[in-house]
Amino acid sequence: MRRLILFTVILCFLLCGCGIRAANYIMRPSAVPEKRLTKTAVIPAVKEADPLLFLSDDPWVRCAASANTESQPENVAAIENDEFRRRVQITFLIQDQDIQNTFIAKRCMDGKVYACRIDGKTNCAEKLDFSVEPNETMKAFCADPEMEGAILSPVISGINSAYEWRCHEEKALITAQLAEADSAGYDKSIWFEIPQPESEIEIINKK
């Protein structure tokens, strides 16, 4: 009788052990897809421009890292980057004693730096106007018969007009195109690229 009881206990122990192993075996495959999903669901981070580039006092660095920008006025004496100020002075023939009273407009275009000297003859702030219809001021000016053949000044035609206008038979007509636009729409004849300084490697490669 004792042998029968002992045999029964041993048999139950073996059966329980097999059940645990079977249960573990069944659960393992379900963990595999979970790990795979975790790995494949990770989306790689999008590489963005370093925000510190936009805080740099180097305009070439900022323009290389940004899209095209609108014109911004700046006093030449207030330009923080010494090399940029020097190159602006060379481009526009500005003497040291004149920088306090001289202003430029600066903007980025196609990854490069452009500048325009602000004075009474240049319109750095506005893009060129290619409208072929005369405004009301032009119409009123040319309606005077005594203005026949007169060329309209920028004050009348608009300082950002791309055309020369002339009065003919009491109407304002276009007689010539005075300016061409760059890729951003500004007058390319008054906006100049400020060249970036060459690195020592570039200078060596040219030799």
Whole-number pLDDT of residue 57: 75
Q: How far apart are CA 75 and CA 201, in angstroms?
A: 33
Residues 102 and 202 in one domain: yes
Q: How far apart are CA 160 and CA 187, in angstroms?
A: 8
Tell me whether residue 6 is in a domain. Answer: no
Whole-number pLDDT of residue 120: 81
Say how many domains are in the chain. Answer: 2
Residues 173 and 199 in one domain: no
Residues 119 and 192 in one domain: yes
Q: How far apart are CA 182 and CA 64, in angstroms?
A: 18
Q: What's the domain range around 190?
A: 51-124+185-206
Whole-number pLDDT of residue 20: 42
Over the chain (207 residues), the average pLDDT of each successive run of 10 is 52 48 40 36 36 64 86 93 96 96 95 93 90 96 96 93 96 96 94 83 43
Whole-number pLDDT of residue 161: 95
Largest Cα–Cα separation, the chain = 140
Q: What is the CA radius of gyration of the chain?
A: 38
**pTM for the complete prediction?**
0.65
